[in-house]
Structure 1
Amino acid sequence: MLFRRPPTLPLEKRQPPARREATSLALRVDGSEVIVALRRDARARRYTLRVRAATRDVVLTLPARGSLKEATAFLERHTGWIAVRLAQLPVVVAFEAGATVPLRGTPHRIVHRPGMRGTVWTETDAQGEALICVAGEAAHLARRVADFLKREARRDLTEASRRHAAALGVTISRITLRDTASRWGSCSSTGALSYSWRLILAPPEVLDYLAAHEVAHRREMNHGPRFWATVDRLFPGRREAEAWLKRRGAELHRFGGGE
């Protein structure tokens, strides 16, 4: 029996393997290394730099015909600008004893109560200061605070979403909490809602607005005039809530140190 060799492409016609494009560049800024993420955009006409407060990173957008050499030169020319913007980012507040974090827009000081039973609860001290009290070992404090905030967020967002859905006469399915940097919420065509758990840090009316916004997508899966009219019926104070998010929303990402 004869065995035929599998067909092969002649050597002169073989294509070289595609080279993977770099997705980041390392840049020295004030003596420290900063990793700059690279994003290529076919619609971009020029190089564009952003320092994102939510994710505390640097992003360089390249036009379709931009080169790595040009990108590197562009970054080096704007090192000073990057240094200033990074220095202006809000200081990260870790979930630790003594730290102050907002809960429904009200500052709460984290207090460790190692000898107490339970997990996490809120109370007000004799001076009227709002507290988040955490029992158990110190090693578990940050996780317990994060879990507590996420539970509170789920409770408030579930209540608000169901209330707005009932008012609009629509149904919703599951509600998911995430820690997204680019959006505060989303709604799928099947009625699944997703929110950032960090909305529990904002004033209640801001959380309520986001719930109304996403539930309104059950009627209008767009941001056209009819959609905004629906949002305004559900939540008349949307412009004030939007203004708060535009002004203060990025600050919510500094709490928790990546929790």
Structure 2
Amino acid sequence: MELPDSETIPLRRDPLLPPEPCPVHWRRSARARRVSLRIDPVEGAVIVTLPNRTAKRHGLALLNEHAGWVMQRLGALAPERRFEPGTSVPIGGVEHRIRHDPGRRGSAFLEDGALVVTGDADFVPRRVRDFLRAEALRRIGVAARPHAEALGVTPRAIRLKDTKTRWGSCAPDRTLAFSWRLILAPDWVLDYVVAHEVAHLREMNHSDRFWSLVEARTPHRHKATEWLRRHGAALQRMG
């Protein structure tokens, strides 16, 4: 049976209240043995997974059975934050107001605690993202240098990605990749993720020796991982 990729379904979390719109993404899986629900904190939607031969009505039944839980979890997510004039964006964990100044020269730059964006208003979201990616690459490079020198390693290259589940990775060819959204986190969080991936250039594993290297470079490791656990999904909902 064909399934829509996504749709909005009215769910009633309380029999005494009117139904509320619920964004739903439908998935089929040959490996699934039963219908399941999970919340996607990035998309702000519930994902319903069905085994290949299971009808959609079974997914709808499970959704309605757990409507209260689903709507409560969706309601607890961080709100989406668009890169628009007047809103703010955290850079290094510090909030900067986006100020549109169409008559200025340049593309986007920091000035007096604001992120100034020039040109037409339609260009603002893209120019904010472009600025953040460039600044992320710059700060990650600065952070990586002392860690690499201390460990006696050299990355082949540093790349940026927009991954949903991984903040950084180290490829076998010694290329380091990072989520550009790390620029939105405090500097010490970015520093931990960078040190973690640089340490993989010495130990391509998560052995005790690896963690000893990381701890020596970033004693704030546990604080940083806890910050990402609590706030990482909110960073994914910006832009």
Question: Does 1:28 pair with 2:9?
Answer: yes
C-alpha contact (below 8 Å) 1:119/1:135 kept by paired residues: yes
Deviates further, 28-37 or 149-158: 28-37
Q: Alignment partner of 2:227: what SS?
A: helix
* Structure 1: distance between partners of 2:147 and 2:26: 39
Deviates further, 98-107 or 115-124: 115-124
* Structure 2: distance between partners of 1:220 and 1:162: 17
CA drift of 1:177 comes to 0.9
CA deviations on 1:46-101 (whole Å, 9 max, x unpaired) are 65422121232322356x79834644432232233222222222221111111011
Q: Which runs of 5+ in 2 are unaligned?
A: 11-18
C-alpha contact (below 8 Å) 1:162/1:172 kept by paired residues: no
From 166, 169, 174, the equivalent of 1:186 is 169
C-alpha contact (below 8 Å) 2:24/2:48 kept by paired residues: no
CA drift of 1:132 comes to 0.6
Deviates further, 219-228 or 167-176: 219-228
* Structure 1: distance between partners of 2:2 and 2:195: 41
Q: 1:121 to 1:27 in 2, by over 3 A?
A: closer
From 93, 100, 119, the equivalent of 1:136 is 119
* Structure 2: distance between partners of 1:36 and 1:120: 35
Matches within 5 A, 1:192-207: 192-207=175-190
Q: 1:222 to 1:56 in 2, by over 3 A?
A: farther
Q: Which runs of 5+ in 1 are unaligned?
A: 1-19, 125-129
CA drift of 1:140 comes to 1.0
* Structure 1: distance between partners of 2:210 and 2:3: 40
From 201, 207, 210, the equivalent of 2:193 is 210
Q: Alignment partner of 1:117: what SS?
A: coil
Larger Rg: 1
The equivalent of 1:12 in structure 2 is none
* Structure 2: distance between partners of 1:219 and 1:61: 40
* TM-score normalised by length of structure 1: 0.79
Matches within 5 A, 1:1-259: 26=7, 28-29=9-10, 30=19, 32=21, 34-38=23-27, 40=29, 42=31, 47-61=35-49, 67-68=54-55, 70-124=58-112, 130-256=113-239
Q: 1:151 to 1:27 in 2, by over 3 A?
A: closer
CA deviations on 1:99-145 (whole Å, 9 max, x unpaired) are 01111010100111111111111121xxxxx1111111112111111
How high is the sequence identity, in percent, across the aligned residues? 44
Q: 1:140 to 1:81 in 2, by over 3 A?
A: same
CA RMSD of superposed structures (Å): 2.5
C-alpha contact (below 8 Å) 2:22/2:45 kept by paired residues: no
Q: What is the number of equivalent residue pairs in this alignment?
A: 230
